């Protein structure tokens, strides 16, 4: 049986196969991920669906007589839940996640995700290209919340996306700091991207999905488990350009995320606190052991993103990383809106919507998000394009982050 | 003119010459100190007293027709003020201060002191052989005072001498932490060792002199100056086995002491605090720049004293450093008391005083101080010798500090 016989006539069989893997295997299952690395997603589905499951998988993979039907149903169900499926090969797939493949080989844990379920309209790669994971204790102190919120706001204002886990405490303070300045933020969940967890963060998650993205590799509708929290931490570290821990007790999950940053060669950063606070003990230990560098402010964090003083572009759109074009990875509506905006002068959102073939509310939502990426600017007269098509945004070339 | 013609018939002309240098030149004057290194103290006095002053000295050196009379008068005056003169060549001269000669050569600042004026009966070298300088902001916070006091108490209880500058704030908290557990502590002043500065620390300085030592290279009776504060900082760093900063604003003098520790290859340590506190900004900057290692407790500090895990002897008596004998550097009364004490059983202070040829109050004072060095123990029946004569103290050999 070949991949083509498994999913005949499918326009993108790899995509379908990855969706099947996402709902039929556990996030970060090293055996399943290793099999995908070895034989590819489709061939892996052929074997797993036929019951030929590698030994030592995290959870059983049930045989499936018709994986194509299963995968198609999963995608349909996800769409009804307001989720889209992003996976390797997509224009907006964050190549930073490829690093997990290598880290997985080394450590025997994790590996790259099959894909991510995404709630929110913004493109994934540009939103995470210049980003900092801000994580920490759930039972955080007022001090920790204040510092996490301030640093997140500073980063988001500079166009650096704030990634976190939407948990109580430091995670929520970080997301809120970014939301408060209408900056970019991404929540990575251990449950389905459509599931409200924790329950109290219903409104917060809705705001993040509106202004940024809520993503997860867990199946739509599923609930979090311990192994999924650990698998989620690796995604937060891999998606981010750097990981910052604000408060962490001696055995905090945030330190797990910090260690992933080290394995992935991301800057690992930590905010100190009073030595009399148990919630800073884990942070201080990490700094003492040189597993994290001490930072005190958003400026310190931004400096860590350019450790050699190389010029980087502000904004979440990722051109600091290479020869990406300004509109790489944007969805159809966003691209059409960018095409519709003038580089000098400005047009109203209604005119941009008409030119882009979308509604005015949709245009306003996408333009608001593009504002956070630095690709567009809002003037008194409406909206204008702030990048230079086909080159670096911002007109006069790369800007250095403020020191 | 030779040194012998300058100070004919003097039993210790180098000692007299150094006392003259101490009161006629400024502490840490690099030119004067360089001259002493080059030609020796006596020949330096010959030149300086004859008006042949090296260019670029910190302050003018006045010609002196009779330096011997001057020096003798200075020593007599110091004795009246309750001070003794300790200088290189003395049994209890801390050889750690020799490091300043080398650091002075490298940096062009400071250099080794000509000697130290000492208030207090305890021997200088054993008191500083295992020691930590605990310094920080004058306008410290309650948090800083609490942490400095706790760490100082931990160190002093482990027999590690707490060295500081007797200033308001962190310095005072550190001395008080040591005093509170009847542990060893040494104040290094920028004014005469007999001068109460700051005024409010009259009682504190008296307690330090009683239980430990108050020392200075500034002339007896003299007041502090800015250059003397800077010169004093180098002494604090050189006398100590490690330097710890607890709170320091961006341009704090405590950071000057920390930098001296770096130049002198002493461990440079720092306690973090809230990033929202301006009084921790200088500390965090030093940690970020790797000029100091983050510590959170007395245990962390003690670990830094033995970075390679080598066993060290608890106590302020310095046998960790080499083949020193237990009673090296002790004054006559202390040696006589140690000889008088039994190693098993115990005797009353009155009996020890009689055997040592001193008074009971004097014996109690010196025994109390020896208690802090770990050389003697107090039992229900009186006092006993806790070291092993001619070998390591503590009976069963070196003990490793608790981790």
- Please name the member of B143, B146, B288 whose beta carbon is closest to the beta carbon of A294: B288
**CA pair distance B116, B107, nearest whole angstrom:** 22
Residue A176 distance to chain B (closest CA, Å): 19
d(CA A222, CA B34): 77
The sign of the CA dihedral A249, A252, A258, A263 is positive
CB of B391 within 8 Å of a chain A CB? The answer is no
* Cβ B14 vs Cβ B106: under 8 Å: no
pLDDT for the residue A320: 30
Residue B275: list chain A partners with CB under 8 A.
Answer: 147, 271-273, 296-297
Residues A308-334: tens digit of each pLDDT: 443 343 444 333 333 334 454 566 778
> In sequence order, what are the beta bridge partners of A108?
none
Of A143, A280, A284, the CB nearest to B276: A143
Query: By the 8 A CB rule, do A220 and A83 touch?
Result: yes
The predicted pLDDT at position A373 comes to 66
Q: Which of A140, A272, A273, A307 to mutate to test the interface with B (most CBs of B within 10 A)?
A: A272
Asked if B271's CB is within 8 angstroms of A273's CB, the reply is no
Nearest-Cα residue of chain B relative to residue A301: B288
Which residues of chain B lie closer than 8 angstroms to A280, CB-CB?
272
Q: Give the best residue of B249, B275, B286 to mutate against chain A (max A CB count within 10 A).
A: B275
**Within 13 A of A55's CA, how many CA atoms are on the CB side?**
0
Q: Left (φ > 0), alpha (ψ -120 to 50) or beta: where does B87 sit?
A: beta
Phi, psi (rounded to 5 degrees) for B187? -100, 130
Specify whether the CB–CB gap between B165 and B309 falls below 8 A. no
What residues 14-43 of chain B have any CB closer than 8 A to a CB of chain A?
none
Would the ipTM clear 0.90, i.e. be above it? no
Cβ <8 Å between A293 and B288: yes
pLDDT at B323: 36
C-alpha span between B180 and B202 (Å, rounded) = 17
CA distances, A181 to each of A156, A176, A332, B244, B328 (Å) = 7, 9, 26, 40, 67
Burial of B38 (0-12, 13-18, 19+ CB in 10 A): exposed
pLDDT for residue A387: 65
| Distances in whole angstroms, Cα of residue A306 to Cα of each of A49, A222, A265, A290 | 46, 38, 14, 19
Cβ-defined contact of A147 to B275 (cutoff 8 Å): yes
Q: Which residue has the tokens 């074997």?
A: A47
pLDDT at position B330, please?
A: 66
Q: How far is CA B304 from the centre of its chain?
A: 19
pLDDT at A57 over 80: no
pLDDT at residue A179, rounded to an integer:
97
How far does B31 lie from chain A, in Å, by closest CA?
A: 40
Nearest to A284 among B276, B281, B294 (CB): B294
CA closest to A289 among chain B residues: B294
Contact A288 B281 (CB under 8 A): no
Q: How confident is the model at residue A7 (pLDDT cuts 50, 70, 90)?
A: low
Our CA-based measurement puts residue B373 at a distance from the nearest CA of chain A, in whole angstroms, of 29
Share of chain A above pLDDT 90, in %: 59
Best of B145, B151, B274, B295 to substitute, by most chain A Cβ atoms within 10 angstroms, is: B274
Per-residue pLDDT band for A27 (boundaries 50, 70, 90) equals confident
Distance CA A291, CA A293 (A): 7
Encoding tokens for residue A320? Answer: 């600091």
Q: Sign of the CA dihedral B101, B104, B105, B109?
A: negative
B276 touches chain A (CB under 8 A): yes
- Cβ distance A294 to B284 less than 8 Å, yes or no, reads yes
Q: How far is A385 from chain B (nearest CA, A)?
A: 38
Q: What mean pLDDT value characterizes chain A?
A: 84
Question: With an 8 Å Cβ cutoff, is A162 touching chain B?
Answer: no
Regarding beta strands B376-379 and B382-385, do their DSSP bridges make them parallel or antiparallel, or are they unpaired? antiparallel
Burial class (CB in 10 A: 0-12, 13-18, 19+), B9: exposed
Whether B300 has its CB under 8 Å from any CB of chain A: the answer is yes
Residues 6+ apart with CB under 8 A from B1: B46, B50
> pLDDT, tens digit, for every residue of B351-381?
888 888 887 777 877 777 677 666 787 776 7
Q: Chain B contacts of A275, Cβ < 8 Å? A: 147, 271-273, 296-297
Domains and CATH numbers, chain A: 3-80 (no CATH), 116-305 (3.40.50.450), 323-385 (1.10.10)
Say yes or no for a CB contact (<8 Å) between A288 and B273: no
Close Cβ partners of A326 (under 8 Å, ≥ 6 residues apart):
A317, A319, A338, A375, A387, A388, A389, A390, A391, A392, A393
Distance CA A135, CA A124 (A): 20
How far is residue B167's CA from residue B188's CA, in Å, rounded to a whole number? 10
Are A296 and B275 within 8 A, CB to CB?
yes
* Residue A177, pLDDT score: 97
Q: Are A305 and A241 in contact (CB under 8 A)?
A: yes
**Eight-class DSSP state of B54:** P
Other CB atoms within 10 Å distance of the CB of residue B138: 17
Smallest CA–CA distance from B146 into chain A, residue:
A276
Query: Is the Cβ of B308 closer than 8 Å to some Cβ of chain A?
Result: no
Q: Encoding tokens for residue B169?
A: 């704030």
pLDDT of residue B103: 64
Cα dihedral B186, B192, B195, B199 sign = negative
Query: What six digits make up the tokens of B108?
Result: 């062009």
| Whole-number Å distance between alpha carbons of A376 and A363 | 12
Residue A377 to residue A351: CA distance in whole angstroms? 16
Q: Which pairing describes strands B268-270 and B242-245: parallel, antiparallel, or unpaired?
A: parallel
B59 reaches A (C-beta below 8 A): no
Q: How far apart are CA B288 and CA B268, in angstroms?
A: 13
From chain B, the residues in CB contact with A143 under 8 A are: 274, 276
Contact state of B294 with A288 under an 8 Å Cβ cutoff: yes
How much is the CA Rg of chain A, to the nearest whole Å? 21
Looking only at the bridges linking them, the beta strands covering B84-86 and B116-119 are antiparallel
Q: Which of B144, B145, B296, B303 to mutate to test the interface with A (most CBs of A within 10 A)?
A: B296
The residues with which B269 forms a beta bridge, in sequence order, are: B244, B293
Dist. CA B256–CA B4, nearest whole Å: 40
pLDDT band at A39 (very low <50, low <70, confident <90, very high): very high
Q: Kindly report the nearest CA distance between residue B185 and chain A, in angstroms.
A: 24
Residue A377 has what pLDDT? 79
Spell out which residues of chain A touch residue B281, defining contact as CB-CB under 8 Å: 296
Q: How far apart are the first and last CA of chain A?
A: 59
Strand-pairing partners, residue B162, are B132, B185
A272 to A348, A393, B110, B120, B349: CA distances (angstroms): 46, 36, 34, 40, 50
pLDDT for A307 equals: 52
Helix extents (H) in A264-307? 281-288, 298-305
In chain A, residues with a C-beta closer than 8 Å to the C-beta of B274 are: 143, 273-274
User: By CA distance, what is B288's nearest residue in A?
Assistant: A294
A273 contacts B272? CB cut-off 8 A: yes
Inter-residue contact A155 to A183 (CB < 8 Å): yes
Q: In the block, which residue shows the tokens 């070949």? A: A2
Query: The dihedral of CA A123, A129, A130, A135: what is its sign?
Result: positive
Those residues whose C-beta lies under 8 Å from the C-beta of residue B217, and which sit 6 or more positions away, are: B22, B27, B28, B113, B114, B115, B116, B117, B231, B232, B235
The 10 Å Cβ neighbour count of residue A12 is 12
pLDDT, block means (10 residues), chain B with 403 residues = 52 92 90 88 93 80 92 96 95 90 62 95 94 97 98 96 98 98 97 95 97 96 90 95 96 92 93 98 96 97 72 38 44 79 81 83 75 72 67 32 30
- Alpha carbon of A312: minimum distance to chain B alpha carbons (Å): 22
What confidence tens digit (pLDDT) does each residue in A166-190 have? 999 999 999 999 999 999 999 999 9
Q: How far is B265 from chain A (nearest CA, A)?
A: 19
Over 90: is that where the pLDDT of A383 sits?
A: no
Tell whether A146 lies on the interface with B, counting CB pairs under 8 A.
yes
Provide the pLDDT for residue B314: 44
**Chain B nearest C-alpha distance from A143 (Å):** 8
Residues 6+ apart with CB under 8 A from B264: B99, B100, B103, B237, B238
pLDDT of A396 reads: 33
Note whether A227 and A260 are within 8 A (CB). no
How many whole angstroms from its chain centre is CA A170? 17
Q: Which residue of A has its CA nearest to B303?
A: A288
Comparing A98-112, A215-229, B82-96, which segment has the lowest mean pLDDT?
A98-112
Tell me if chain B has a CB within 8 Å of the CB of A297.
Answer: yes
Distance between CA atoms of residues B64 and A33, nearest Å: 87
Give me the numbers of helices (H) and strands (E) for chain A, helices first please: 17, 11
Name the 3-class secondary structure at B213: strand
Chain A contact set for B143 (CB, 8 A) = 274, 276
- Chain A residue closest to B281 (CA)? A296
Please report residues of A whose CB lies closer than 8 A to that of B272.
Answer: 272-273, 275, 280, 284, 287, 294
Rounded to the nearest 5 degrees, what angle is found at the Cα of A217, between the Cα atoms of A213 and A223? 95
């Amino acid at each position: 049986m070949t991949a083509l016989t498994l999913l005949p006539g499918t326009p993108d069989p790899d995509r379908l196969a990855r969706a099947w893997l996402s709902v039929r295997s556990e996030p970060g299952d090293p055996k399943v991920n290793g099999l995908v690395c070895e034989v590819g997603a489709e061939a892996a589905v052929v074997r797993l669906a036929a019951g030929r499951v590698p030994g030592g998988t995290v959870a059983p993979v049930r045989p499936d007589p018709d994986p194509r039907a299963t995968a198609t149903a999963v995608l349909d169900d996800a769409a009804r839940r307001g989720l889209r499926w992003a996976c390797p090969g997509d224009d907006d797939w964050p190549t930073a996640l490829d690093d997990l493949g290598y880290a997985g080989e080394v450590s025997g844990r994790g590996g790259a995700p099959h894909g991510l379920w995404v709630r929110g309209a913004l493109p994934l790669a540009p939103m995470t290209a210049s980003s900092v994971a801000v994580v920490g204790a759930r039972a955080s102190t007022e001090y920790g919340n204040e510092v996490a919120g301030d640093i997140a706001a500073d980063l988001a204002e500079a166009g650096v996306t704030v990634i976190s886990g939407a948990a109580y405490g430091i995670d929520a303070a970080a997301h809120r700091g970014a939301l408060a300045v209408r900056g970019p933020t991404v929540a990575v969940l251990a449950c389905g991207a459509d599931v409200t967890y924790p329950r109290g963060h219903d409104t917060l998650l809705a705001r993040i999905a509106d202004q940024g993205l809520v993503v997860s590799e867990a199946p739509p509708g599923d609930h979090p488990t311990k192994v999924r929290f650990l698998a989620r931490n690796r995604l937060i570290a891999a998606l981010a350009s750097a990981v910052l821990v604000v408060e962490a007790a001696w055995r905090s999950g945030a330190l797990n995320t910090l260690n992933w940053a080290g394995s992935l060669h991301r800057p690992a950063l930590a905010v100190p606190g009073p030595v009399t606070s148990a919630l800073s003990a884990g942070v201080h230990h990490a700094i003492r052991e040189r597993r994290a560098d001490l930072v005190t402010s958003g400026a310190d964090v931004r400096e860590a993103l350019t450790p050699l003083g190389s010029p980087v572009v502000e904004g979440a759109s990722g051109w600091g990383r290479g020869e990406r074009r300004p509109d790489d990875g944007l969805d159809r509506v966003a691209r059409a809106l960018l095409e519709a905006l003038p580089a000098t002068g400005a047009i109203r959102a209604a005119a941009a919507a008409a030119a882009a073939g979308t509604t005015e509310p949709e245009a306003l939502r996408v333009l608001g998000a593009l504002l956070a990426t630095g690709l567009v600017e809002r003037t008194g007269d409406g909206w204008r394009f702030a990048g230079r098509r086909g080159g670096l945004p911002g007109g006069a070339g790369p800007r250095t982050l403020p020191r």
